[in-house]
């Protein structure tokens, strides 16, 4: 491809630095660990890495409570390690995307320390959102409004020293910033500039659509919902119109450098919402999460569900002229292999990987999903994530998908020589990168092959997408088409063989790729698919 654009056409690999590779035996992954594995990532074929936060943090939300946006937590390394990582990544043609958490800070951030110390406006008081109690007898009636935290309970924390509440849409240790204060806006955009000057290629913006709140903090309308935060319609706490001019300004800063990128993490995402935040003077992309859902809840699987979701994204992103993203896993949801596989069989995980790599949109590949890592199953007393602590046993939190990368079959899976911060999955003696490299039919080799195939096949990257009837209720089929190249992707979601119709095949006759193990009989009017087969055919 002559016009390869890294963030549109390449695969972006998400690294949770804490769990990738520990180089000093303290049980925490670190930046030198990422640098040490860049050759692995180059060989896998990714175009960019997105690093979850490595900034100084008290870890109340494992890095998403940031105490200094322009520094490296000493546990992960130094700024010099960071510069070396960027330089080494670039030397291999790998771009670096940082996770910017600008909606809130840690309560240990010097800004909040100053703000909470006094009501004096000169003391950064107005950098956060403070309100007096409302008159009322019960504790809940005194809260400034009815907003709920994404994590648990009300979104208001009480500060006894100064007698006011502060807003926190996440943990109480994550106070929300007041983006209406021009000094906050300036300081946060300076964070963006700081990392751009350090040669960072792009940003993933944590809950960007929550930066601005309704100016008068009106109550949200209520509705039926299973969790407190779902019992509110999020009318006044997110998606305020002030976000658009801010995105315009941010985009102006990014466009001052070549090929820079911003992808937004859309809170309470819908495809419509995600698409509306993107454009030439807005974000390059925004997550829509139709395959992962909120905390992995309420999300379906199977040819009909997936077809419907694909058509919806094609319609909405297509009409908006916005390039979609595809997310199958991240640090907030159960891993795809955990969601779709039984036992250690990886066949359904190959379907998820095939979707990730053949749909129209930028694939976001979460570390470890290329070897089908499964979530840890933790006991209540092992849970560290505030979400798990709040919602156990309905939600077990997000620790499960954050376990150490399984590099090899040695006792700590090659992740650390010390004691890992979170235990290594019990399946690591068999399920690890070293073992999967040796196995031609492994999920790892499948992933690597498909990334390579994608690179050589422009229609798989840029081609128009159309879902087509497959002739079988258990098979999802879609085409990717560019002038002169038509690829048919056929995915058998069932554990039984299936037959796709001659009409589906159309002009596609040449086999491009398949996970089929058995000999394929002569096609007699159609194509027989193995159980869970992933099949790519080439036509013109
Ligand atoms: C979204 C992040 O993905 C999640 O991990 C975090 O807990 C919240 N934002 C708060 O920063
Ligand atoms: Ca370490």
184: helix, coil or strand? Answer: helix
Q: Report whether pLDDT(296) > 70.
A: no
Q: Is residue 177 part of a domain?
A: no
Give the closest residue to 373 by CA, choosing from 325, 410, 334: 334
**Closest ligand, as measured to the CA of 66:** 1
Same domain as 41, residue 25: yes
Of 404, 419, 451, the residue that ends a domain is 451
Of 451, 476, 508, the residue that ends a domain is 451
**Closest ligand, as measured to the CA of 169:** 1
Cα–Cα distance, 483 to 229 (Å, whole number): 47
Choosing from 30, 99, 206, 332, the catalytic residue is: 206
Same domain as 495, residue 443: no
Choosing from 237, 265, 314, 530, the catalytic residue is: 265
Q: Is residue 72 part of a domain?
A: yes
Return the ∠ at Cα 452 (arms to 450 and 453), rounded to 5°. Answer: 60
pLDDT in tens, 95-127: 999 999 999 999 999 999 999 999 998 889 999
By residue count, the chain amounts to 540
Same domain as 535, residue 414: no
Q: Given ligand 1 and candidates 14, 55, 61, which is best to mutate, with the most ligand atoms within 8 Å of its CB?
A: 61
Query: Given the CA of residue 171, which atom of ligand 1 is nearest to it?
Result: 10
Q: Is residue 172 part of a domain?
A: no
- Into how many domains does the chain fold? 3
Cα–Cα distance, 234 to 246 (Å, whole number): 20
What domain range includes position 535? 463-539
Question: Residue 478's domain is classified under what CATH number?
Answer: 2.60.40.1180
- Annotated catalytic residue 265: yes
Cα–Cα distance, 230 to 221 (Å, whole number): 11
Same domain as 193, residue 61: yes
Same domain as 126, residue 97: no
pLDDT in tens, 45-89: 999 999 999 999 999 999 999 999 999 999 999 999 999 999 999
Return the ∠ at Cα 479 (arms to 475 and 480), rounded to 5°. Answer: 140
pLDDT in tens, 237-289: 999 999 999 999 999 999 999 999 999 999 999 999 999 999 999 999 999 99
Same domain as 201, residue 126: no
Give the closest residue to 358 by CA, choosing from 467, 437, 496: 467
80: helix, coil or strand? Answer: helix
Of 421, 451, 481, the residue that ends a domain is 451
Same domain as 359, residue 239: yes
Q: Is residue 174 part of a domain?
A: no
Question: Does residue 471 come out as left (phi exceeding 0), alpha (psi in the -120 to 50 range) or beta?
Answer: left
Same domain as 510, residue 392: no
Same domain as 90, residue 22: yes
**Closest ligand, as measured to the CA of 168:** 1
Q: Is residue 176 part of a domain?
A: no
Closest residue by Cα to atom 8, ligand 1, is 64
Return the ∠ at Cα 11 (arms to 478 and 361), rounded to 5°. Answer: 40
For tokens 């520094």, name the residue: 71
* The CA-based dihedral angle spanning residues 284, 289, 290, 296, taken in that order and rounded to the nearest 10 degrees: 180
Closest residue by Cα to atom 6, ligand 1, is 64
Same domain as 272, residue 374: yes
135: helix, coil or strand? Answer: coil
Q: Is residue 175 part of a domain?
A: no
pLDDT in tens, 441-487: 999 999 999 999 999 999 999 999 999 999 999 999 999 999 999 99
Q: Given ligand 1 and candidates 170, 364, 389, which is best to mutate, with the most ligand atoms within 8 Å of its CB?
A: 170
Cα–Cα distance, 106 to 54 (Å, whole number): 13
Question: Residue 133's domain is classified under what CATH number?
Answer: 3.90.400.10
- Annotated catalytic residue 206: yes
Same domain as 204, residue 127: no
Helical (H) or strand (E) element with 467: strand 464-468
Question: Residue 200's domain is classified under what CATH number?
Answer: 3.20.20.80
Q: Given ligand 1 and candidates 51, 59, 98, 101, which is best to mutate, with the most ligand atoms within 8 Å of its CB?
A: 101
Return the ∠ at Cα 274 (arms to 228 and 470), rounded to 5°. Answer: 100
49: helix, coil or strand? Answer: strand
């Amino acid at each position: 491809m002559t016009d390869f654009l890294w963030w549109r056409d390449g695969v972006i690999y998400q690294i949770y630095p804490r769990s990738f590779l520990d180089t000093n035996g303290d049980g925490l992954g670190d930046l030198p660990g990422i640098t040490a594995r860049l050759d692995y990532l180059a060989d896998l074929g990714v175009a960019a890495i997105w690093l979850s936060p490595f900034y100084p943090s008290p870890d109340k939300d494992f890095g998403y409570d940031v105490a200094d946006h322009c520094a490296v937590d000493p546990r992960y390394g130094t700024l010099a390690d960071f510069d070396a990582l960027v330089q080494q990544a670039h030397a291999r043609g790998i771009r670096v995307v940082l996770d910017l958490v600008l909606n809130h800070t840690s309560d240990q951030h010097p800004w909040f320390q100053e703000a909470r110390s006094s009501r004096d406006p000169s003391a950064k008081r107005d950098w956060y959102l403070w309100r007096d109690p409302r008159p009322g007898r019960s504790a809940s009636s005194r809260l400034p409004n009815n907003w709920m935290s994404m994590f648990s309970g009300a979104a208001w924390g009480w500060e006894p020293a100064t007698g006011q509440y502060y807003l926190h849409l996440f943990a109480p240790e994550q106070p929300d910033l007041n983006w209406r204060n021009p000094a906050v806006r300036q300081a946060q955009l300076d964070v963006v500039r700081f990392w751009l000057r350090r040669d960072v290629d792009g940003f993933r913006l944590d809950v960007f659509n929550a930066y601005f709140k309704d100016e008068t903090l009106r109550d949200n309308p209520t509705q039926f919902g299973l969790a407190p935060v779902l019992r509110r319609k999020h009318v006044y706490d997110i998606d305020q119109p002030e976000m658009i001019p801010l995105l315009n300004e941010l985009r102006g800063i990014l466009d001052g450098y070549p090929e820079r990128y911003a992808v937004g993490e859309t809170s309470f995402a819908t495809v419509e919402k995600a698409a509306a935040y993107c454009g030439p003077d807005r974000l390059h992309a925004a997550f829509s999460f139709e395959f992962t859902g909120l905390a992995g809840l309420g999300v379906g699987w199977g040819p009909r569900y997936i077809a419907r979701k694909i058509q919806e994204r094609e319609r909405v992103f297509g009409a908006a002229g916005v390039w979609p993203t595809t997310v199958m896993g991240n640090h907030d949801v159960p891993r795809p292999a955990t969601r779709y596989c039984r036992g250690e069989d990886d066949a359904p995980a190959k379907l998820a990987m095939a979707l990730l790599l053949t749909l129209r949109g930028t694939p976001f590949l979460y570390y470890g999903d290329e070897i089908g890592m499964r979530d840890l199953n933790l006991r209540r007393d092992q849970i560290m994530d505030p979400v798990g602590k709040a919602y156990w046993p309905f939600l077990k939190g997000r620790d499960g998908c954050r376990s150490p990368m399984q590099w090899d079959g040695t006792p700590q899976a090659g992740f650390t020589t010390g004691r890992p911060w979170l235990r290594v999955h019990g399946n690591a003696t068999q399920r690890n990168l070293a073992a999967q490299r040796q196995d031609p039919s492994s999920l790892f080799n499948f992933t690597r092959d498909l990334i390579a195939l994608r690179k050589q096949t422009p229609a798989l990257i840029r081609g128009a997408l159309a879902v087509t009837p497959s002739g079988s209720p258990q098979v999802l089929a879609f085409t990717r088409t560019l002038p002169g190249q038509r690829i048919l992707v056929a995915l058998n979601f069932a554990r039984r063989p299936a037959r796709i119709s001659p009409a589906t095949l159309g002009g596609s006759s040449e086999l491009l790729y398949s996970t089929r193990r058995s000999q394929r009989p002569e096609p007699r009017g159609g194509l027989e698919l193995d159980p869970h087969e992933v099949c790519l055919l080439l036509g013109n």
